[in-house]
Amino acid sequence: MQDTQTSVLIVIPTLNEAAHIGGLISWLLPMLERLEACLVVADGGSTDGTREIVTDLARQSDRVVLLPNPGRLQGAGVNLAVERFAGAGTRWLIRIDAHASYPPDFCDVLLAEAQRHGADSVVVGMTAVGTGFWQRAIALAQNSRFGNGGAAHRVIGGGRWVEHGHHALFDLQAFNAVGGYDAEFSHNEDAELDLRLAEAGRRIWLTGLTRVLYVPRATPERLAVQYFRFGKGRARTFRKHRQRLRARQAVLLALGPLLALGILWPLSPVFLVPVGLWLLACLGAGLLITMAVGDWRGLAAGVMAGLMQASWSFGFWRGLLAGTAARSPR
């Protein structure tokens, strides 16, 4: 690998992705020579056969490398891959997530967009897709404004400059100039890095020419855990940078405490009012989603969107209070 010319570094952070990694590498293999790319799978200690699949496929090309990631977290894996394999001639970093699928020309579009617009980072939109009742309902929730809050990379079709999006490509000079990912972040590491890029005057382009198809969690329980962790990660970013929350995030921040008041209902039924209003909002959103997509699972999607909101809010408060306690003198 040391003797192979590389202008593009492609990194896939993995942890137990045996169900997806083989297909991703097989898709990328034919384009590695043409792009002068090195593909690094930064594995955080998989136990499901992921590493064995990568090792087997790496025999087909010296441009494919399995890199143990002792930090386990995705950001740490990407940073380590850049440190080990980005040479003097490597200009671009492309991040591929294992739990997603991509159009055939994904990498080509990213590189063309970066050069066309002079972007330091190119981010992409996401569309959630699912099979089975719950995963389909969760996908509908994540694709709806009630579930995603109108985030730019979830709803915008055309290209524009943004503050944040789903990470896809970086100019390595810009990535390294701000220190890469914060390797201690398990969640929200992407938004935290985008914040530092913006503070450094770097520009992030949301392309409208390609998208990622994201496979969401398959059960409500796993969805709740995921969004609880998202909330904790967002709180950590807030503590680190002390920047103002967006309006939709401020609204969600109030949701957790309002719902928690429901435990006081034995004192007065009035404490159940916020819970009741929230449930009505979820059911109303589900009805609108159903009418918009023509899928009766949209009714469940409204509830799943509400679950995402509540889990995020409780996670944010957990992360915020934990950080406050850690800074308090003992």
Predicted pLDDT at 155: 63
Which residue range is the domain that position 124 belongs to? Answer: 8-216
pLDDT of 151 above 90? no
Arithmetic mean of pLDDT, 300-316: 96
**Whether residue 41 is found in the same domain as residue 175:** yes
pLDDT of 150 above 80? no
In the numeric block, which tokens belong to residue 272?
A: 């159940």
Q: Where does a domain end: 188, 216, 244?
A: 216
Predicted pLDDT at 330: 33
Q: Where does a domain end: 167, 185, 216?
A: 216
pLDDT of 329 above 90? no
Distance CA 232, CA 132 (A): 29
Q: Where does a domain end: 216, 237, 254?
A: 216
**Whether residue 166 is found in the same domain as residue 48:** yes
Instruction: Give pLDDT tens digits for 193-216.
Output: 999 999 999 999 999 999 999 999
**Whether residue 159 is found in the same domain as residue 116:** yes
Instruction: Give pLDDT tens digits for 157-205.
Output: 668 999 999 999 999 999 999 999 999 999 999 999 999 999 999 999 9
Q: Does the global pTM surpass 0.85?
A: yes
pLDDT of 26 above 80? yes
Distance CA 264, CA 269 (A): 8
Confidence of residue 5 (pLDDT cuts 50, 70, 90): low
- Residues paired with residue 170 on neighbouring β-strands, in sequence order: 93, 121
Predicted pLDDT at 248: 79
Which alpha helices (H) appear in the chain, and where do they start and end?
18-35, 50-58, 74-85, 106-117, 133-143, 145-148, 152-155, 172-177, 189-199, 220-241, 247-260, 273-293, 298-327
In a domain, 255, yes or no: yes
pLDDT of 327 above 60? no
In a domain, 1, yes or no: no
